[in-house]
Amino acid sequence: MQFLKSLVFNIFLYFGIVFVFIMAIPTLFLPNKFTLYCGKFLAHYIIFILKLILNCKVIYHGLENLKKVEKFFVASAHQSMFETFVLQAPLDFPVFILKKELLKIPLFGWYLKKIGSIEIIRETTTKENLNFFDKIKDTINKTSRPLLIFPQGTRTKIGEKKPFKKGVGRIYESTNLPCIPVALNSGKIWPKDSFMKYSGNIHISFLNPIMPGLEKKEFVSKLESEIYSETEKLY
């Protein structure tokens, strides 16, 4: 039965993704706010089919923390494709910081470029990466949209505590912005690299902002500790 539910969910998921991205093609020639609304629509569509097919509710905790500071960046745990799409629902049109390979995916990559995503080439030092923090500062100066980064650098399995990348500390230091940590349990319902999807609830916790002023290492340690500690409570 769970296999059948997973099959139906995956069909609806990929049909919805392709449909939304095709419908979004005309918006590539319009102001990017139209493209951003396509992403928000897709986030709500995925929440809807999770409930409809898997009887899975998406439950938010700590939304009030998003209102405690005017400008901030978000550092989220990363367990599945889920948060890549669905965090666009509660956040006000986030600017993704992501690996450059994603920008090469047809339709999806076009969408990411259009909405102003900032790419980084992982594990290498290039001229593009040296300009990475200049792009971030420029984005912050031009928009009030929050930056969204996945500091683990890749999706992780349930219970896996992958050390956070040092880059999140440099972003914290260079932007002088508060950071809102996000913990979640999406891997329990939507496991990494798995066809199967499971019933249950997905919890997303927006934690108290970490204010500017800490040393880079101290910040990364605190961020990692808070996200992993809260994540354990959600399983």
- 93 phi/psi in degrees, rounded to 5: 55, 70
pLDDT at 98: 85
In the predicted model, what is the mean pLDDT of residues 82-90?
Answer: 96
DSSP code per residue over 108-175: HHHHHHHTT-EEE-TT---HHHHTHHHHHHHHHHH--PPEEE-TTSS---TT--PPPPTHHHHHHHHH
CATH of 2-234, one of 3.90.1200, 3.10.50, 3.30.2390, 3.40.1130: 3.40.1130
**pLDDT surpassing 90 at residue 206:** yes
Residue 211 DSSP one-character state: -
In the predicted model, what is the mean pLDDT of residues 146-174?
Answer: 93
For the stretch 25-51, pLDDT in tens is 898 888 888 999 999 999 999 999 999
Which residue in this structure is represented by tokens 């905790």? 61
For the stretch 139-149, pLDDT in tens is 888 888 999 99
- Confidence tier at 66 by pLDDT (50, 70, 90): very high
Q: Between 102 and 64, where is the model more confident?
A: 64
For the stretch 111-158, pLDDT in tens is 888 888 998 766 555 555 667 888 898 888 888 899 999 999 899 998
